[in-house]
């Protein structure tokens, strides 16, 4: 029997290794697996690379992991959200590495990894500083730069409903990076607002099919 | 009188036809959402996967899972839909949006856009969705104050700040003028009444050309 | 007011030009816009390139277009379905051109066009005859070939429900190539089983957002 | 006695663990769906966007919009889902499937697979999803009759027919044996009782190695 549900947050994040690339979902608070971020702090893995649209706010969640010295590198599109105080402190002190990636390319690079492709030619950023060091090529009269797949060791996700096979739905714009990150990581862990019976989600409405999910924990927020 | 920020947004909104799909950048362009012309169905897209962004929610409608690219709570119009980030940027990069209305630090007379970093060493740089939008919308227009707070021109021969994209801006809405970016450079289509062309030129680094049918730029009090 | 509905099949296919690349959805009968194929035959456009998983069966639909001499070229993954008699006749007589593309690459190349990318590095077909003439490259120890975007002038699609904004749902495996083809063509035309009021489809359940659709016609089969 | 086609499928099915995600190729592998072991949840994927393919429908369940990759009507298991073609091949190409069970014309001792064309000049070639499956599943296994109808070996030193993918096959189920493809070549893990190793070798072009724990291959009558 397929049953991807686990009983505790500790069990959900068990075994995440030092040095992991962690795909961290959410856009602002929407779709952000705060309970899993907290559990990862407890779990203790360090030397992490975090992939998120931003770089944490306040001193909890992703910022909490940074504040505790667990994060070696951030790959994000916009580390300047108001309240990204921990990141800014570490950045100024040269205690964290930053790889800045345009938001759509961040997402497309993860999809590329999930789809088993070796890279893609992107028009985004051509002629800008963010294309520095990237191979450039003209194809049919337009210029592109080569972008590489971005694969995660772990994805930390948040969904609305989930069944024991790992089929997921999301709520409104909380969908954001979650479905793509689920496809791009070796180990995909999701906090789900509500477990439902197998078959309760109409198959036409499933956004993330269970094949992309490894572990689920119920967190009713 | 120069236009207020809201009036600049209003002027840009007048050019949005019925049925257009538009992305509004952070900052000044976001104000466009509040001054959309009545009687037209205009579909606002937000990078985080919302197509058909509606007005800010009232207390009963508030759902923190429904935000726009600026992470402000919004609503969804009837007919709107949700997609994930990758599909959202497929829309953006694949020439599916009719228009991106973006903010800017500077625009060059060849259409180069600089709107992502001023290289302030005190802050880490951030790019967000700006480069994808600039590269992939069918048309890019900019809303920007004509000069900086200290009077330096933002409409330049070449951008001084790092570029967001090359040769993409087609129209600029400022507090003083509406300017098209053509292969001959900046062409002034409209300017406010109480400034003459030479004075406008003095506030602009690149050469301005006068459109044959130049009009007065005005906006209702708001 | 946005209203993408048209009143007749003739109106739906109006203006399709000779020489068009036509993305033709469906996998077997499922999701196949047979009424639009018939309308395109009536409309008369010729010298067409058809992109479909197969190469038509019987003498109607896509096979009807071929039988009437309207199709210059087929881009497909499997032209050997039982009943592909018209294609086989034309192929043996050298009266139709065939570009054979692996099924997943066919779909990915259309997505690539829809996403505004210049191409991608694919592991599929490396070392096989279908990689002949394609640029090959080793990336991180694995071999890939370069695949180019495949863009349509027109897409002919079939959906289940649709509203006046062009938002669509599909029925079961009739989804197949439809959502991707809708994204990859300049003009996307869909035959819809049932028009519904705007707002009737839950926004969480929309599979193809209206932005990708240009014209819709109701055909209740 | 050599295994029947259904018995080959049965033998391959015995190796499917609880919870595996599997794609079944057209032809012989499709028979696996009818002989799945009881008591295990095995999730069958079909290229056309069906995850969790169930048995053939009865009259009341028949919906021509629900077919498998062979275009036969199927049903959906509870817990199954639908995706579009591009996402379906993302699953296939991105190492999300545990296993692809494929048919073959030939398999070489280095794991090369030829299963898409025999270059018959009377027919156009067709590839379908074979190359994507061979390139992207976590593991590829082949179900094939040990020799052609005229007795030519299908397990070869090198494939004679055009390749589908290089060095991907890990295990082969035939009517005579279960053979692993290792870095040392073909290793016979099981063989039917009424043939000796030399006779099996005579039906195989490449050299066969005997596994230390070689077992008898048998299947129930079916």
Q: Give residue-wise pLDDT tens across range D29-62.
A: 999 999 999 999 999 999 999 999 999 999 999 9
Quote the pLDDT of residue D82.
Answer: 98
Cβ–Cβ gap C80/D92 under 8 Å: no
Instruction: Give yes or no for residue A206 having a pLDDT over 90.
Output: yes
C119 interfacial to chain B (CB closer than 8 Å): no
Report chain B's mean pLDDT, rounded to a whole number.
96
Cα distance between residue B41 and residue D116, in whole Å: 51
Chain B residues close to C198, C-beta within 8 Å = 78-79
Question: Chain A partners of C115 at a C-beta cutoff of 8 Å?
Answer: 108
Q: Is the Cβ of C10 closer than 8 Å to some Cβ of chain B?
A: no
Beta carbons of A199 and D41 less than 8 Å apart: no
Count of CB pairs separated by less than 8 Å, A with C: 60
Average pLDDT over residues A42-57: 97
Q: How far apart are CA D194 and CA C137, in angstroms?
A: 49
Per residue in C58-83, pLDDT (tens digit) is 999 999 999 999 999 999 999 987 78
Mean pLDDT rounded to a whole number for chain C: 97
Average pLDDT over residues C47-67: 96
Q: Do A165 and D79 touch (CB under 8 A)?
A: yes
Measured distance CA(C207)–CA(B81) in Å, rounded: 9
Instruction: Give yes or no for A167 touching D (CB within 8 A).
Output: yes
Contacts of D124 in chain C (CB under 8 A): 55, 79-80, 87-88, 91, 98, 100
Which residue of A115, A121, A170 is in closest CB contact with C119? A121
Contacts of C140 in chain A (CB under 8 A): 118
Q: What is the pLDDT of residue B89?
A: 98
**Strand ranges (E), chain B:** 21-24, 43-46, 50-54, 75-82, 99-102, 106-108, 113-114, 140-143, 155-156, 169-173, 177-182, 185-191, 208-216
- pLDDT per residue over B172-196, tens digit each? 999 999 999 999 999 999 999 989 9
Over residues D88-105, the mean pLDDT reads 98
- Residues B144 and B174: beta-carbon distance below 8 Å: yes
Q: Are C42 and C171 spatial neighbours (Cβ–Cβ below 8 Å)?
A: no
CA A78, chain centre distance (Å): 14
Residues whose CB falls within 8 Å of the CB of residue C75, separated by 6 or more in sequence, listed in order: C49, C50, C51, C52, C99, C101, C106, C150
Contact between D18 and A114 using a beta-carbon 8 Å cutoff: no
Closest residue on chain A to D86 (Cα): A115
- What's the pLDDT score for residue D162? 97
Query: CB contact, 8 Å: C210 with chain B?
Result: yes
Widest distance between CA atoms in chain A = 55
CA separation for the pair B199, B217 (Å, rounded): 15
Catalytic residues of D: 47
Share of chain A above pLDDT 90, in %: 97
Residues of B in contact with A55 (CB under 8 A): 124
* pLDDT at residue A77 in the model: 97
Mind telling me how many Å the CA of C127 is from chain A's nearest CA?
16
CB contact A177 to B (< 8 Å): yes
C40 in Cβ contact with C52 (< 8 Å): no
First to last CA, chain D: 13
Asked if the model's pLDDT at residue B122 lies above 90, the reply is no
Nearest-by-CA chain D residue for A163: D79
Pick from C167, C183, C203: which is nearest to B76 by CB?
C203
pLDDT mean across residues, chain D: 96
Name the pairing type of β-strands B43-46 and C142-147: unpaired
Chain centroid offset of residue A187 CA: 11
Could you tell me which of B138, B46, B137 has the C-alpha nearest to residue B83? B46
Residue of D65, D128, D135 lying closest to C172 (CB–CB): D65
Considering only CB atoms, which chain D residues are within 8 Å of C96? Answer: none
**Which positions in chain A touch B88 (Cβ < 8 Å)?**
104, 107
Q: Does C160 touch chain A (CB under 8 A)?
A: no
Residue A80 has pLDDT above 90, yes or no: no
Q: What is the DSSP letter of B24?
A: E
* Spatial distance between the Cα atoms of B193 and B216, rounded to a whole number of angstroms: 6
Interface of C with A in 166-195 (CB under 8 A): 169-170, 172
Count CA atoms closer than 13 A to B89's CA, side-chain side.
28
Distance CA C207, CA D130 (A): 27
Q: How far apart are CA B68 and CA A54, in angstroms?
A: 15
Instruction: Write down the pLDDT at residue A82.
Output: 79
Annotated catalytic residues of B are 47
Q: Does residue B1 have a pLDDT over 90?
A: no
Q: Report, as an integer, the average pLDDT of B7-11.
A: 98
Neighbours of B67 (CB within 10 A): 24
Check if B138 contacts C (Cβ < 8 Å): no
CA gap D203, D197 in Å, rounded? 10
CB contact under 8 A, C177 and D164: no
- In angstroms, the separation between the Cα of residue C22 and the nearest Cα of chain B is 18
Neighbors of chain B with 3 or more C-beta pairs under 8 Å: A, C
> D77 and chain C: CB distance < 8 Å anywhere?
no
Taking only the tens place, the pLDDT of each residue in B139-155 is: 999 999 999 999 999 99
The reported pLDDT for the residue numbered B132 is 98
Predicted confidence band at B73 (pLDDT cuts at 50, 70, 90)?
Answer: very high
Helix (H) or strand (E) holding A143: strand A142-147
pLDDT of residue B70: 93
Among B63, B128, B131, select the one facing A128 at the smallest CB separation. B131
Q: Which chains pack against D, by 3+ Cβ pairs within 8 A?
A: A, C
- Average confidence (pLDDT) over A139-149: 97
DSSP type of residue A123:
-
Alpha-helix runs per DSSP H in chain C: 9-12, 34-43, 62-67, 85-92, 103-114, 178-184
Distance (Å) from the alpha carbon of B167 to chain C's nearest alpha carbon: 17
Query: What mean pLDDT is predicted for residues B22-46?
Result: 96
The mean pLDDT of D6-19, rounded to a whole number, is 98
Of B18, B19, B81, the CB nearest to C209: B81
> Which chain D residues have a beta carbon less than 8 Å from that of A113?
94
Span A188-203, mean pLDDT? 98
Angle, CA of A180, A185 and A190, to the nearest 5°: 75
At residue D161, the pLDDT reads 97
Q: What is the mean pLDDT of residues C1-13?
A: 98
Q: Do A124 and B135 touch (CB under 8 A)?
A: yes
pLDDT at A30: 97
- Any idea how long chain A is? 221
The tens digit of pLDDT for each residue in C123-150 reads 999 999 999 999 999 999 999 999 999 9
Q: Which of B76, B91, B93 sits opposite C211 (nearest CB)?
A: B91
Chain B positions in Cβ-Cβ contact with residue C113 (cut-off 8 Å): 94
- Kindly report which listed range (A205-209, B97-101, C89-93, C156-160) carries the lowest average pLDDT score: C89-93
Interface predicted TM-score (ipTM) of this complex, two decimals? 0.97
**Which value, to the nearest 10 degrees, does the dihedral of the CA atoms of residues B194, B196, B202, B205 take?**
100
pLDDT at B123 (0 to 100):
83
């Amino acid at each position: 029997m397929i049953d991807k549900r686990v009983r505790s947050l500790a069990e959900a994040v068990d075994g995440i290794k030092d040095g992991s690339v962690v795909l961290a979902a959410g856009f602002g608070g929407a779709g952000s697996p705060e309970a899993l971020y907290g559990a990862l702090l407890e779990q203790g893995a360090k030397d992490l690379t975090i992939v998120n649209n931003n770089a944490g706010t306040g001193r909890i969640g992703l910022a909490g992991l940074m504040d505790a010295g667990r994060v070696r590198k951030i790959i994000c599109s916009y580390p300047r959200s108001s309240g990204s105080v921990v990141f800014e402190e570490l950045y100024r002190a040269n205690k964290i590495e930053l790889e800045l990636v345009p938001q759509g390319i961040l997402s497309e690079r993860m999809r590329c990894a999930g789809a088993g492709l070796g890279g893609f030619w992107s028009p985004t950023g051509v002629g800008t500083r963010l294309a520095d060091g990237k191979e450039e090529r003209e194809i049919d009269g337009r210029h592109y730069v080569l972008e590489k797949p971005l694969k995660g060791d772990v994805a930390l996700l948040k969904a609305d409903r989930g069944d024991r096979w790992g089929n997921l739905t999301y709520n409104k714009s909380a969908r954001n990076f979650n479905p793509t990150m689920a496809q791009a990581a070796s180990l995909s862990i999701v906090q789900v607002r509500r477990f439902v019976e197998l078959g309760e989600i109409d198959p036409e409405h499933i956004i993330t099919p269970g094949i992309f999910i490894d572990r689920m924990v119920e967190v009713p927020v | 009188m120069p236009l207020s920020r809201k009036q600049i947004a209003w002027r840009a909104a007048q050019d949005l036809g019925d049925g257009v799909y538009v992305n509004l950048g952070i900052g000044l362009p976001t104000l466009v959402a509040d001054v959309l012309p009545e009687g037209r169905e205009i579909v606002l897209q937000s990078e985080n996967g919302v197509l058909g962004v509606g007005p800010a929610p009232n207390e009963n409608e508030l759902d923190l899972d429904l935000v726009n690219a600026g992470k402000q709570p919004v609503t969804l119009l009837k007919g709107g839909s949700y997609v994930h980030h990758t599909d959202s940027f497929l829309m953006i990069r694949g020439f599916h949006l009719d228009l991106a209305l973006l903010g800017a630090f500077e625009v060059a007379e060849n259409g180069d856009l600089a709107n992502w970093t001023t290289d302030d060493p005190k802050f880490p740089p951030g790019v967000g969705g700006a480069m994808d939008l600039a590269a992939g919308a069918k048309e890019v227009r900019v809303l920007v104050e004509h000069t900086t707070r200290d009077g330096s021109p933002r409409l330049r021969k070449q951008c001084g700040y790092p570029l967001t994209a090359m040769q993409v801006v087609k129209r600029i809405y400022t507090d003083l003028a509406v300017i098209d970016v053509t292969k001959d450079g900046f062409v002034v289509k409209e300017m406010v009444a109480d400034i003459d062309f030479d004075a406008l030129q003095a506030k602009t680094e690149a050469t301005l050309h006068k459109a044959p049918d130049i009009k007065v730029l005005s906006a209702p009090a708001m």
